[in-house]
A and B are shown apart, each in its own frame.
Chain A
Amino acid sequence: MAAQFGLSRSTLLYYDRIGLLRPDYRTSAGYRLYNAADRQRLELICRFRSAGLSLARIERLLDRPQPTRSAMTTALQGRLTALNREIAALRRQQQVVVNLLQQKGSARRTRIMDKARWIALMRAAGMNDAEMHRWHEEFEQQSPEAHQDFLESLGLPAAEIRQIRRGTVRRT
């Protein structure tokens, strides 16, 4: 079964030891026999693992008598929040690295965008200040979360992001 799920044998042994996935039956020779329900459980474990949930979290989720949709939603939302935080932290690091490398002309190769580069692009596309302002307004109104995410991706400090978002809110 380990091979079918792309896991090592020791992983299954470990899951057994911590009580996350106990085989249905153990033969006298020590072989672990898993039934269809075990298999289903392992499938869920693998899926939640690939979403980055911890084994402890998965166990709490699966060991409810009836794993409800809302419990899963809560767990996954928590994970999404953590991922967003990690991405924001990585972006800050990326910005620092780019700044350190800047003199070596790495900007063209980097995947990072900053405010100046984005503004340069908007201008190259023929957009003026009024249009850019209007764009922020619309962005804030239609997709406030994505607006925040976008501004973070430009490596702007939190205070400036707040200012941009507030400014555009006030004027609408």
Chain B
Amino acid sequence: MNKITKDQFVAVLEAAGITAPQREKLHVAFERQQPAAHQQFLEWLGLPAETIGKIREHSRQ
């Protein structure tokens, strides 16, 4: 099902000129506005549960 990896997705964002701080903001906004969808999105990227937990926790701080 997983047609894109996290690294590929980041490469797409980078190629579009979206910087690391912007990507960070994206996570924070995602976690605040749509926590459940954030989880689903990270699952879609095929990340393991542990990594997802860490990313979400980091985004909440």
Contact B34 A142 (CB under 8 A): no
* Identity of the chain A residue whose Cβ is nearest the Cβ of B40 in the assembled complex: A111
Residues of chain A with a CB closer than 8 A to B15's CB = 134, 138, 142
Grouping DSSP codes into helix (H, G, I), strand (E, B) and loop, the B interface class, with mixed when no group exceeds half, is helix
Closest A residue to B41 by beta carbon equals A113
Q: Does B18 contact A (CB under 8 A)?
A: yes
| Docked-complex contact A124 and B34, CB < 8 angstroms | no
Q: Binding site of A, secondary structure by majority: helix, strand, loop or mixed? A: helix
Q: Counting CB contacts under 8 A, is A122 at the interface? A: yes
Interchain CB contact under 8 A, B16 and A108: no
Q: Is residue B49 within 8 Å, beta carbon to beta carbon, of the partner chain?
A: no
Q: Which of B1, B29, B30 contacts A83 (CB 8 A)?
A: B1
Which residues on the A side are within 8 Å of B13 (C-beta)? 135, 138
- Chain A's nearest CB lies how many Å from the CB of B10? 11
Roughly how many angstroms separate A90 CA and B44 CA in the complex, as a whole number?
Answer: 15
Is B23 interfacial (CB 8 A cutoff)? yes
Q: Does A149 sit within 8 A of B, measured CB to CB? A: yes
Taking CB atoms and an 8 Å cut-off, the chain A residues in 106-148 that contact chain B are 107-113, 117, 120-122, 124-127, 131-132, 134-135, 137-139, 142-143, 145-146
Shortest B4–chain A CB gap in Å is: 3
Chain A: interface residue total (CB-CB under 8 A): 33
When each residue 1-31 of chain B gets 1 if its CB lies under 8 Å from chain A and 0 otherwise, what string results?
A: 1011000110111011110001101100110
Please tell me if the beta carbons of B1 and A108 are within 8 angstroms of each other in the complex.
no
In the bound complex, CA of A121 to CA of B40 (Å): 15
> Which residues of B approach A to under 8 Å, CB–CB?
1, 3-4, 8-9, 11-13, 15-18, 22-23, 25-26, 29-30, 33-37, 39-41, 44
Taking beta carbons and an 8 Å cutoff, which residues of A are in contact with B? 80, 83-84, 87, 107-113, 117, 120-122, 124-127, 131-132, 134-135, 137-139, 142-143, 145-146, 149-150, 153
